[in-house]
Structure 1
Amino acid sequence: MLASYLGACGYTVTIADNGRKGLEVATSGGVFDLILLDVMMPEMDGFDVLKNLRKTLLTPVLMLTARGDDYDRILGLELGADDYLPKPFNHRELAARIKAILRRLELTVSAAQQQDLQVHGLRLSVARQHVSCDGQQVTLTGTEFSILHLLMLSAGQLVTKNEISEKVLGKKMMTFDRSIDMHVSNLRKKIAAVDAVERIKTIRGSGYMLLIG
Structure 2
Amino acid sequence: MASDEPTPRKVYHERQHFELCALHALNNVFQDPNAFSKEQLDEIYQFLNFIVYILIQNFTDISILICLADYLYCQSSITLCLFIINLSIKFTLQSKHRLAPDAVLNPHKSVLGTGNYDVNVIMSVLQSKGHAAVWWDKRRSLERLCLTNIKGFILNIPSTIGWGVLTIPLKRRHWIGVRAIDNIYYNLDSKLKQPEIIGEALQLKKFLAKKLSSKNCELLLIVSSEVEVGREWKVG
The question of a shared fold, defined as TM-score above 0.5 by the shorter chain, is answered with no
CA radius of gyration, larger in: 2
TM-score (norm 1): 0.29
TM-score (norm 2): 0.27
Greater relative contact order: 1 or 2 (C-alpha under 8 angstroms, separation 6 or more)? Answer: 2
